[in-house]
Amino acid sequence: MNNKKNIGFFTVGSLNYSGAALQAFKVASGLERYNVIFFSKDPSASKILSKSIFFRGHQVVILPQLLPCRFIIIAYFILKFRIRVCHFHGFSIRNMAPCLLLGCRLILKTTLLDEDDFETQLGSKKKYLLRFMLSKISYNVVLTKHLQEINQRYISPEKVKVIHNGIIAQKLPDTKTDNIFCYAGLVCPRKRTYNTIQYFADNYAYLPGAILYIIGPDSTSYNLSEFSQDYYDSCIDLINRNHIQSQVIFTGNIPFEEVLDIYRKAKVFIFLSLKEGLPNSVLEAMSFNCVPIISPMDGAAEEMIEDGVEGFILEDEKRVIPIEAINSILQSEKAYHKVNSCFSIQNTVAQLSELYDNLIKK
């Protein structure tokens, strides 16, 4: 390929709708000293055959579903490209095993509290195997200080590194005057799309020209496990009961440039998810000076903004954020400057490159 060292990124749904996979591609594109080979678990993959394609400028190996076949494919590409460092964007013992047996150094990224933090993982039936695998990890990358505090109880504290997701810096948009609101993410119970619509209906639908864009997959055709048709139907029923059919627009899964066009004109990003790692959608919206109104998300919100300064954290959804307060933060441009100074993709890449450098030298 070239004289750069090769590292492996293990992701889920790299070709589908996945914020985690998109973040991994952004990191891979920013690395100057390394090439990245993606290994992706995909629900539509063949049981026994792998597929290797170029996607977003990188080689992506779609792993077969059957474990013996997957083991062979992983081993083949690790040996072919002399991969010495494997970065796992999510816990997968079955994919870690062949990498470990071939002498690769492992980096594990964990994101969701109560799902893939070490305390939750070690409460499962596989806790002894998990404990062994955790002992073999060189670094654990986490998104929040809360996750860091939990995971440091189970492996050497110096191995657990807080490295935030990063965004690509954007040009500050022109002054926003239209009452445009948006949400981005799967329509599903965890992300509480229903609550976002309800909050808009209760507090902002009365504003002149108020529009709420719901950006993201909104049907079963995307083969996403969290999507619920019943939940989607309940959202439609809520819209009908509030007579805001003309004010709520479901975009479906649109190209990323079209998502950015909505952020460019929107005043507010409403995101009331139950739990997240460090949601890229919030950071990306802020990079276009959208004022975030977000839920606490188990401490993730506090990592991104200070309540009342760069946006608003709703501990109680009965709390009403006046449009005047939103406009004040919008005019201050604090959301825009916060995300571009603290969450740039360059910072993320630099911190990860240091970890890769340390492991390659060993």
The reply to whether 171 falls in a domain is no
The reply to whether 60 falls in a domain is yes
**Phi-psi sector, 90: left (phi>0), alpha (psi -120 to 50), beta:** left
Residues 14 and 107 in one domain: yes
Dihedral of the alpha carbons of 55, 342, 105, 112, in degrees to the nearest 10: -80
DSSP output for 3-42:
SSEEEEEEEE-TTSS-HHHHHHHHHHHH-SSEEEEEEEE-
| Cα 205 from Cα 211, distance rounded (Å) | 7
pLDDT at res. 72: 96
Residues 115 and 246 in one domain: no
pLDDT at res. 223: 62
The reply to whether 175 falls in a domain is no
Residues 112 and 192 in one domain: no
- Domain count for the chain: 2
The reply to whether 275 falls in a domain is yes
pLDDT at res. 17: 67
Residues 142 and 233 in one domain: no
Instruction: Report the CATH number at residue 128.
Output: 3.40.50.2000
Residues 144 and 254 in one domain: no
* Domain ranges, residue 188: 180-342
Residues 200 and 334 in one domain: yes
Residues 44 and 161 in one domain: yes
| Phi, psi of 25, deg, nearest 5 | -65, -40
The reply to whether 172 falls in a domain is no
Going by the DSSP 8-state scheme, the letter that residue 113 receives in this structure is T
What are the helix and strand counts (H, E) for the chain? 14, 14
pLDDT at res. 14: 79
The reply to whether 170 falls in a domain is no
The reply to whether 57 falls in a domain is yes
User: In which residue ranges of the chain is pLDDT below 50?
Assistant: 1
Going by the DSSP 8-state scheme, the letter that residue 66 receives in this structure is S
Tens digit of each residue's pLDDT (9 = 90 or more) over 142-181: 999 999 999 999 999 999 999 999 999 899 999 999 999 9
pLDDT at res. 301: 95
Other C-beta atoms lying within 10 Å of the C-beta of residue 121: 20
Residues 152 and 275 in one domain: no
Question: Helix 127-135 and helix 93-101: axis angle, to 10°?
Answer: 40
Residues 119 and 225 in one domain: no
Residues 256 and 268 in one domain: yes
Question: Helix 193-203 and helix 229-241: axis angle, to 10°?
Answer: 10
Tens digit of each residue's pLDDT (9 = 90 or more) over 216-229: 887 755 567 788 88
Residues 118 and 241 in one domain: no
Residues 201 and 319 in one domain: yes
- Is the Cβ–Cβ distance between 143 and 282 less than 8 Å? no
The reply to whether 173 falls in a domain is no
Tens digit of each residue's pLDDT (9 = 90 or more) over 18-71: 778 889 999 999 999 999 999 999 877 899 999 999 999 999 999 999 999 999
